[in-house]
Every structure is written in structure tokens, then in C-alpha cells.
């Protein structure tokens, strides 16, 4: 019997454990297995294999019972999921349903989740921008949050590293506030978007409209063919899963790459209960898992543990990892775990019409979603009554319409003949929110989920800085739209609750001082050196950029460091 127990423990022992299989977890799996580590990836959701498990990817609109609209009953049952832009009849199987995984909302918060192998990497908007030193130096310069322990030079080579493998389309724009990357050819702006770019270039020398940078293979390199991926087909059906691998996801890229090494063990249907800490050894020794099918508790062991469960779940796991050494959660000596959460403010939008450039017969769509306006407020100096700033999406489309005049034969002729209408112009704000101690998540004292784990209580909200930023966005964008000759301009406060941006960050922030942060410059817990956090939970501040590219770069960088430390015997 003793030998059986020893054999069982050996079978459950690995060099590295990665919690989560999404964008950052997939990168950790790739890096560890490539470097020869026997690696276990734990995923709480079901298995999803590239192409095989994309059931709607090639369906025509008429093949959906409700033409891709969600029925009223589903909207009633799942109001949180239904508020997500990507949730529809073609993608609902990749989303968590509201009643299956409840949480406590002390303040209204939309927690959008995708519990399956690949996580939300199947659903993300694929926008990818580097941070600059204006972002990394922001907290120290502007007096909010704590100072980042790294600067752009520390992560720049890792941005390049992940861009080459993932495949990022973009232009070399030469902007200090948005550093250039290692790009595939950009998706061009359409005629109306380019018109706006030229107007802004002429009137506002410090503002720029660029082609949005995105994780799509506009022109694949050999490394992408080696992954089994192909060129983006411009279908704009990405939330279904791409059968061509045209956009980056864990399922199409990093996980299959890790699988080829023979070093990967992928275990879906495994809810992580907590990280096991050994006081005698002074480090974490493993992970406690609850099998979602059998409800059996199983312990797995490793020398290094990467927590990549997505920002809020990562906070939950660490808060629930209690021991005599850490009664308030793993690494939580300073009581800051779960605090100083932040997100992106998407609460403002502006629309208009444009009657120029009608000679071009196109609807103007591409997978990059058009243009991108990098942050231009408070970049080189403080110039407003609010801290930090905002970036903005910008796009133009033409919609088909029919002349419905006439009756009988005349009406039929009109309905058959479709016309392209004027350009519909749109933009929305992506504002940086300021991390605050009272924006936090914590374990509920009484409510538990289906696996006996405490439910999470979330208390995150907008503040006066966000409202001032929104007012400035409206003022500046309206002026820019008028300068471009756009008409019927309308500003709109968007009912997007915190969380609906799906860019939640913080709670396990990086920093130089263990008294004011949880992680050091290598994403290690200050007080538990063999546990690393490289998903959104590690972020000290949010910037205005879409964050996923930064998660990838931080993960690759931290993995490289962790392997070096393992070899030295320091973990």
C-alpha cells in the first residue's frame, strides 16, 4: 500500500503547475515545456480543441434558430452575459451562464467569464498595443498607486518575442506614447477612416489616428505555418473560434505548441481550490483541485506555480489559500490582496454620419475594427483636472439599405436593388481608471459555490475622475468630428458597468516594496518566491491600451526567470 501511495504522488508531481489555460496560461505552458519542464496545466472548464470544438464556426445566418439573436428567456436568465458585445447564439457556448457561477455584487459589476480550455482567448477583441514609459512611469509621476518595479526597456524585448510568435498586424507609426512592435502588414484604414486621419494630422499635431494593431495573421510567417495556422480570411466571425487559426488564441497556438513537446499534461474540469503552502519548507508545494465531475479533492505538486486564472479568479484562489503562515491568503502579509483593483472606462461613445468618400463601394470592415487613437491627454504634462487619459477606438462603416417607395412591381424592383448608405462613424472611449483601495474583491463569509469554495464579493465602481475624463472625451471627440465634416453627431453615455470592459486588473499588484505590493519585478510573490502571477491580477495600473499583449510579455519574461532560478536551486 505504501508503494501505491508513493506511486500516486509521483504521478501527481510535476516541475511546474500553471493554473489557467487562457492567454497568459497558454504562454506559460509553451515556455515551460519548451524549456524541458514537465508541466501541468489546470483548467476549471471543459476541454476545447482547436477546430474540432468550434460548432458554429462555418454556419450560415439562416442555420441559427434565432438568426444569432438571443431569445428573451436567455436574456432574462443571463443578463450579465447578454451585456457582453461578443455574446450571441453563435458564441454562447464559450460563456459562463450567470446562474451557474454566482458571485456577490456589492456594487454593480459584470464579471464576464469563459470557462473552457483557452478561456477568453477564444473571445477577446484581439487588439494589441505595447505600453510605453509614459504608462510604466505614470504612478510615480502622477502620484497615484505605487511605482512599477519595471520600465519599458525591461519588457520591450519580451514584447518582440511574443509578437513574432503570436502574429500582430500593424504599422510602424513612430509614436513615443505607443511604441512600435514587430509587425505583420497592417490592415489599412478605409476611405472615411483615412479622411479622418488626414484631418486630425493637419489640425492636431499631437493626436494620431492609426490602423488598429491586432493579433491577426495578415501575412503569416513560417513560425505561424509551423503552428498549423493560416492567413486571416477577414470573416469577422472570430468569437466562434477560427478554423484557420487566423487570430491568436491559446487553442490555435500556444497549447498545441506545448503539446508537441511531450512535456504537457492538460487537465480540464479541475477547479482550483487553493495553493498548498508548507511552513517547514517555507514555500508552496502544490495545488489542491476539485474534480468538477466527481467532486473529488486531488493534490498536485510542483516546484514552481504560475497563477493565470484571470485577474479576479486569481485573487480568489490566493485569498482562499490560507495556512498558519498566511491566515489571510497566500502572500498577504500586508493585507492588500484583493485591493486596488482597476479596469477600463468604456462608458462613453460618439456617433456621426459622413457624406463624403461615397465613390468607394465598400462596407469598410476589417478584423482590426478600423482605427485607433492613442492617448493624447496628460501625456507629457498634466493639462486637465483629471488624472491620466484615454485612448479611443474609431471606425467607419457603410450599411446597405433599400428604397421602399412604390407598390407592386416597382416596390419589388426597389427591394432587390440594395444601395450603400452614407458612412456611419463611431468611436468609444477606453479610459484609464485609478486603482483605489476600496475597489476590491474579497471572500464572502457565508456563501459558497457548487464546489464548496467561498463565493467572491466584488465592490468596484466609477469615481469622479472617470466622470471628468468622460466629459473631456465628449468635448474633444465632438470637436474632432466637426473638423472632419461629420454630421448628425451624437454623444452617448453607455450603460457599461465596471467589468463589462473585460479588462479587470490588479489585486495582486507588482511593486518595489513588499509593504505596498504583493509581487516583485519578476512577478513573484514577495513572501512566497515559487509562486508567480502574470495575468491581469499583477497589474499595478491599467494604462489605456488593451492589456493582453502585456500579459503575454510579462508571462514569457517571468517563465524565463523562473526556469533560471529553478536551475540555480532557488525555488
pLDDT tens for residues 170-206?
Answer: 999 999 999 999 999 999 999 999 999 999 999 999 9
Residue, of 399 and 224, whose pLDDT is higher: 224
Question: DSSP characters for 299-325?
Answer: EEEEEEEEE-S-HHHHHHHHHH---SS
For range 477-495, the mean pLDDT: 97
Alpha-carbon Rg for the chain in angstroms:
24
Give the CA dihedral 251, 255, 257, 258, nearest 10 degrees: -170
For range 266-277, the mean pLDDT: 98
Answer yes or no: is pLDDT of 2 > 60: no
Helix axes 464-483, 191-203, angle to 10 degrees: 100
pLDDT of residue 3: 59
- Average pLDDT of the chain is 96
| Helix (H) or strand (E) run with residue 153 in it | helix 152-166
Q: Domain total for the chain?
A: 1
For range 325-348, the mean pLDDT: 98
pLDDT tens track for 84-102:
999 999 999 999 999 999 9
Note whether residue 273 is domain-resident: yes
Note whether residue 184 is domain-resident: no
Q: What would the grid cell of residue 204 be?
A: 492636431
Q: What would the grid cell of residue 420 be?
A: 450603400
Answer yes or no: is pLDDT of 415 > 90: no
Note whether residue 495 is domain-resident: no
Find how far residue 129's CA is from the centre of its chain.
Answer: 12
pLDDT tens track for 23-59:
999 999 999 999 999 999 999 999 999 999 999 999 9
Note whether residue 202 is domain-resident: no
For range 233-249, the mean pLDDT: 97
The domain spanning residue 148 has which CATH number? Answer: 3.50.50.60
pLDDT of residue 1: 46
Q: Can you give the residue range of the structural domain that contains 121?
A: 14-53+111-169+213-341+436-455+502-571
Chain position carrying cell 518595489:
512
Long-range contact set of residues 481-487: C-beta below 8 Å, sequence gap at least 24: 481/350, 481/352, 481/425, 483/199, 483/200, 483/203, 484/195, 484/196, 484/199, 484/200, 484/354, 485/199, 485/354, 485/356, 486/352, 486/353, 486/354, 486/425, 487/352, 487/353, 487/354, 487/355
Answer yes or no: is pLDDT of 299 > 80: yes
Note whether residue 65 is domain-resident: no
pLDDT tens track for 495-533:
999 999 999 999 999 999 999 999 999 999 999 999 999
Note whether residue 351 is domain-resident: no
Amino acid at each position: 500500500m505504501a508503494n501505491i501511495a508513493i506511486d500516486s504522488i509521483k504521478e501527481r508531481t510535476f516541475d511546474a503547475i500553471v493554473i489557467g489555460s487562457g492567454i497568459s496560461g497558454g504562454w506559460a505552458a509553451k515556455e515551460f515545456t519548451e524549456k524541458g519542464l514537465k508541466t501541468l496545466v489546470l483548467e476549471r472548464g471543459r476541454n476545447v480543441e482547436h477546430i474540432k470544438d468550434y460548432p458554429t464556426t462555418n454556419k450560415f445566418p439562416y442555420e441559427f434558430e434565432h438568426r444569432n439573436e438571443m431569445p428573451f428567456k436567455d436574456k432574462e436568465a443571463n443578463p450579465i452575459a447578454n451585456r457582453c458585445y461578443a455574446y450571441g447564439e453563435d458564441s454562447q457556448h464559450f460563456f459562463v451562464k450567470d446562474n451557474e457561477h454566482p458571485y456577490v455584487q456589492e456594487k454593480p459589476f459584470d464579471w464576464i467569464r469563459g470557462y473552457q480550455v483557452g478561456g477568453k482567448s477564444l473571445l477577446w477583441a484581439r487588439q494589441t498595443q505595447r505600453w510605453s514609459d509614459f504608462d510604466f512611469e505614470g504612478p510615480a509621476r502622477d502620484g497615484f498607486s505605487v511605482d512599477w518595479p519595471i520600465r519599458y526597456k525591461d519588457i520591450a524585448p519580451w514584447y518582440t518575442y511574443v509578437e513574432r510568435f503570436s502574429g500582430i498586424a500593424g504599422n510602424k507609426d513612430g509614436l513615443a506614447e505607443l511604441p512600435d512592435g514587430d509587425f505583420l502588414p497592417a490592415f489599412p484604414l478605409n476611405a472615411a477612416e483615412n479622411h479622418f486621419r488626414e484631418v486630425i494630422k493637419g489640425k492636431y499635431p499631437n493626436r494620431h489616428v492609426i490602423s488598429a494593431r491586432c493579433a491577426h495573421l495578415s501575412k503569416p510567417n513560417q513560425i505561424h505555418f509551423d503552428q498549423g495556422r493560416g492567413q486571416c480570411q477577414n470573416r469577422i466571425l472570430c468569437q466562434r473560434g477560427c478554423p484557420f487559426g487566423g487570430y491568436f488564441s491559446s487553442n490555435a497556438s500556444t497549447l498545441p505548441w506545448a503539446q508537441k513537446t511531450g512535456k504537457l499534461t492538460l487537465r480540464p474540469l479541475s477547479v482550483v481550490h487553493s495553493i498548498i503552502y508548507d511552513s517547514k519548507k517555507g514555500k508552496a508545494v502544490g495545488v489542491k483541485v476539485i474534480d468538477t465531475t466527481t467532486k473529488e479533492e486531488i493534490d498536485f505538486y510542483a516546484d514552481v506555480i504560475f497563477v493565470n486564472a484571470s485577474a479576479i479568479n486569481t485573487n480568489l484562489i490566493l485569498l482562499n489559500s490560507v495556512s498558519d503562515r498566511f491566515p489571510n491568503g497566500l502572500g498577504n502579509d500586508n493585507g492588500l490582496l484583493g485591493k486596488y483593483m482597476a479596469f477600463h472606462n468604456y462608458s462613453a461613445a460618439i456617433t456621426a454620419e459622413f457624406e463624403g468618400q461615397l465613390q468607394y463601394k465598400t462596407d469598410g470592415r476589417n478584423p482590426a475594427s478600423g482605427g485607433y487613437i492613442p492617448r493624447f491627454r496628460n501625456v507629457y504634462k498634466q493639462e486637465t483636472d483629471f488624472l491620466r487619459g484615454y485612448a479611443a477606438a474609431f471606425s467607419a462603416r457603410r450599411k446597405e439599405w433599400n428604397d421602399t417607395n412604390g407598390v407592386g412591381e416597382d416596390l419589388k424592383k426597389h427591394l432587390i436593388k440594395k444601395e450603400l448608405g452614407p458612412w456611419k462613424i463611431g468611436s468609444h472611449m477606453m479610459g484609464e481608471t485609478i486603482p483605489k483601495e476600496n475597489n476590491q474583491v474579497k471572500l464572502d463569509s457565508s456563501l459558497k459555490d457548487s464546489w464548496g469554495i467561498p463565493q467572491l464579493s466584488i465592490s468596484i465602481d466609477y469615481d469622479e475622475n472617470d466622470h471628468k475624463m468622460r466629459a473631456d472625451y465628449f468635448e474633444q471627440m465632438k470637436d474632432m468630428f466637426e473638423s472632419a465634416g461629420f454630421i448628425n453627431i451624437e454623444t452617448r453615455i453607455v450603460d457599461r458597468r465596471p467589468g463589462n470592459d473585460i479588462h479587470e486588473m490588479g489585486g495582486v499588484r507588482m511593486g518595489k516594496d513588499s509593504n505596498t505590493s504583493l509581487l516583485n519585478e519578476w512577478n513573484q510573490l514577495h513572501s512566497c518566491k515559487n509562486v508567480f502571477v502574470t495575468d491581469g491580477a499583477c497589474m499595478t495600473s491599467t494604462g489605456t491600451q488593451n492589456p493582453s499583449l502585456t500579459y503575454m510579455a510579462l508571462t514569457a519574461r517571468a517563465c524565463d526567470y523562473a526556469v533560471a532560478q529553478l536551475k540555480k536551486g532557488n525555488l
